[in-house]
Amino acid sequence: MAETTLKRTPLYDRHVALGARMMGFGGFEMPVQYTSIIDEHLAVRRAAGLFDVSHMGEIFVRGPRAFDFVQHLITNDAARLYDGRALYTVMCTPEGGVVDDLLVYRFDAETYLLVVNAANIEKDFAWMQANNPMGAHLENRSDEIALLALQGPAAFEIARHFVPDLAPNNPRYYHFRVMEPGTFLDCRWAVLSHTGYTGEPGLEIYCHADEAVRVWDALLEVGQAHGLKPAGLGARDTLRLEAGYCLYGHELDESTNPLEAGLSWVVKFDKGDFIGREALLRVRENGPARRLIGLILEERGIPRAGYPITDEGGTSIGKVTSGTLSPVLQQGIALGYVPNRPDYTEPGRRLGVQIRSQILPARVHKPPFVELHRK
């Protein structure tokens, strides 16, 4: 069987030069860490980290029926968008399973950008093409666009060196700014979005792939005085887990629905029809059979995906979907699915996580697991 060749982002050479440990992720060769996951994680919580997330997919939707297409595709309400506003959502199968979770940006009434997970780019684009009866123009620009995430309490202070009026309230959370050509590090096209996957204040910066190295270098140079460090996918994962954010392929997939995953807030039944609406209405009516919960271990141990979750008597009731040792708490934390019963899902309830032959006590905790700076 032929080996699949991993793609490389425009910043690959920069990662190698910085001594990053590289690995395959979502079809790309990506940096896992530069120094250590804990070091990079704490830099983001205390100062700032810079991530290369250019593996993510960017799909533009254009034309007079662009809104109708997006509204049909996603569970959230695209009518809440206006120029310069973004939202988080999922798109579902007719059975209610999650095809992917994504961000939707509205540039204008006939231009939307959908940002999807790296491993799902081809699948998602094919899904969109197959569910486009309104004939919106779909354009996969993933290979041409780079994405950098500047995250942490010092992120806006660093970015102000290049755009003086940037602040955590300008643009506001889940808002973005399309920069005039040449006004941000001489980029022909750049979007500064107040979004992120860490629970900290920060910006996600979109630019042309051939301009990514210049942006990366400039941010790292200026950010050095503010404690900025390059951060890899390892820290990105531990940060999102402390914040309690879902990861596709772990908490979400086509066998899970957004209501059991705690994402009912992105399902707007009152907006009209969308793919999966009827199935999700049935789930809402009957109540989800299971629920995604957070757990904090009460003894030393590291929960990992696939480990059994047990009741107090040691009977297996579910599985961990994501787990790690929280760098902030220095305790094991996990997300996982259990039956939708109050004695399993209420915060403070005692459960267990089986790590090899030992069952460690854990308590149910509603995420986030740590105090976040992003309000």
Residue owning tokens 């979007």:
191
Sign of CA dihedral 227, 233, 234, 238: positive
CATH class of the structural domain 7-54+144-243: alpha beta
Cα of first residue to Cα of last residue in the chain, in angstroms, is 49
Average pLDDT, the chain: 97
Q: What is the pLDDT of residue 237?
A: 98
Q: What is the pLDDT of residue 279?
A: 98
> For residue 68, what pLDDT band results from cuts at 50, 70 and 90?
very high
Residue 127's alpha-carbon distances to 63, 88, 123, 234, in angstroms, are: 19, 18, 6, 29
- Per the DSSP assignment, residues forming a β-bridge with 373 are none
Question: What whole-number distance in Å separates Cα of residue 129 and Cα of residue 131?
Answer: 6
Q: Give the number of residues written for the chain.
A: 375
Q: What is the pLDDT of residue 2?
A: 47
Query: Which residues of the chain are in CATH 2.40.30.110 domains?
Result: 289-364
Binding site annotation covers 204? Answer: yes
Query: Which residues of the chain are in CATH 3.30.1360.120 domains?
Result: 7-54+144-243
Q: At residue 375, does pLDDT exceed 90?
A: no
What's the pLDDT tens digit per position in 291-332?
A: 999 999 999 999 999 999 999 999 999 999 999 999 999 999
Question: What whole-number distance in Å separates Cα of residue 364 and Cα of residue 333?
Answer: 10
Strands (E), 266-339: 290-297, 308-310, 316-325, 332-339
Q: Which residues contact 17 (CB under 8 A, 6 or more apart)?
A: none
Q: What is the pLDDT of residue 373?
A: 83
Cis peptide before 288 (omega within 30 of 0): no
Q: Which of 292, 303, 317 has its CA nearest to residue 358?
A: 303
When the candidates are 2.40.30.110, 2.50.20.10, 3.20.20.140, 1.10.3330.10, the CATH number that belongs to 289-364 is 2.40.30.110
What average pLDDT does this structure show over 232-240? 98
Name the DSSP class of 330.
-
Question: What whole-number distance in Å separates Cα of residue 232 and Cα of residue 258?
Answer: 28
Cβ burial 287-306 (10 Å sphere, 16+ → b, else e) = ebebbbbbbbbeeebbbebe
What's the pLDDT tens digit per position in 22-55?
A: 999 999 999 999 999 999 999 999 999 999 999 9
Cβ 85 vs Cβ 175: under 8 Å: yes
β-strand pairing of 350-355 with 358-364: antiparallel
Cβ 29 vs Cβ 7: under 8 Å: yes
What average pLDDT does this structure show over 196-202? 97
Q: At residue 178, does pLDDT exceed 90?
A: yes
Q: At residue 374, does pLDDT exceed 90?
A: no
Element (H, E) at 190: strand 190-193
Q: What is the pLDDT of residue 153?
A: 97
Q: At residue 250, does pLDDT exceed 60?
A: yes
Q: Which of 257, 308, 317, 309 has its CA nearest to residue 287?
A: 257
Q: At residue 164, does pLDDT exceed 50?
A: yes
pLDDT over 70 percentage in the chain: 99
Give the distance, in angstroms, between the CA of residue 225 and the centroid of all CA atoms in the same chain.
Answer: 28
Q: At residue 1, does pLDDT exceed 70?
A: no
> For residue 3, what pLDDT band results from cuts at 50, 70 and 90?
low
Q: What is the pLDDT of residue 4?
A: 72
Strand order in the sheet with 48-52: 176-179, 190-193, 202-208, 145-151, 48-52, 228-230
